């Protein structure tokens, strides 16, 4: 899926009280691994044999497996100092360095509250402020997140 813009809308999704957004940090590796394990378990994207597999995937992502992390556009949402959601944007090797939303993750206990949507909106705003006007992502067929991406204006591309 792909989204292009001239001027993105301002991030409008309200966050639940006490949820804070901050830049993702390389030291968030364990938190991202925990989110991957929790968010993907039992879904169409469940690929891990255990939490250690998810932590390895998180470490590889942060180390640049899908391309260098765009640290300005990659964000974490915290509640009581615990990372409950993240949006990880990388510069995609396969697409000439274009930004790729590699992961958008929300802990299942905090889903459907607009947190993931707000993180993606903020990522788009940060990309825009750096002169970037396009973001793409890959999503597995059957993943309910497709509806979120379509609400945000992403189009299906081949």
Over residues 4-50, the pLDDT tens digits come to 998 877 777 889 889 999 999 999 999 999 999 999 998 878 889 99
Please state which of the ranges 24-33, 40-49, 113-122, 124-133 shows the lowest mean pLDDT. Answer: 40-49
Q: Is the pTM higher than 0.75?
A: yes
Q: What is the largest CA-CA distance in the chain?
A: 42
- Strands 19-23 and 75-79 turn out to be antiparallel
Q: What is the enclosing helix (H) or strand (E) of 101?
A: strand 99-106
DSSP state of 95: G
What is the torsional sign of CA 50, 103, 12, 145? negative
pLDDT attached to residue 36: 95
Show the tokens assigned to 158: 């081949």
- Strands 82-91 and 19-23 turn out to be unpaired
């Amino acid at each position: 899926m792909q989204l292009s813009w001239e001027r993105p809308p301002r991030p409008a999704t309200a966050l639940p009280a006490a949820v804070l957004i901050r830049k993702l940090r390389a030291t968030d590796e364990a938190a991202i691994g925990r989110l991957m394990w929790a968010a993907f378990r039992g879904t169409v994207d469940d690929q891990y044999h255990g939490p250690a597999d998810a932590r390895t995937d998180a470490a590889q992502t942060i180390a640049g497996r899908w391309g260098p992390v765009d640290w300005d556009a990659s964000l974490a949402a915290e509640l009581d100092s615990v990372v409950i959601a993240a949006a990880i944007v990388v510069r995609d090797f396969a697409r000439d360095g274009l930004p790729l939303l590699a992961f958008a993750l929300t802990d299942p206990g905090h889903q459907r509250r607009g947190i993931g949507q707000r993180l993606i909106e903020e990522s788009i705003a940060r990309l825009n402020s750096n002169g970037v006007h396009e973001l793409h992502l890959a999503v597995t067929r059957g993943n309910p997140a497709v509806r979120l991406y379509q609400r945000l204006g992403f189009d299906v591309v081949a």
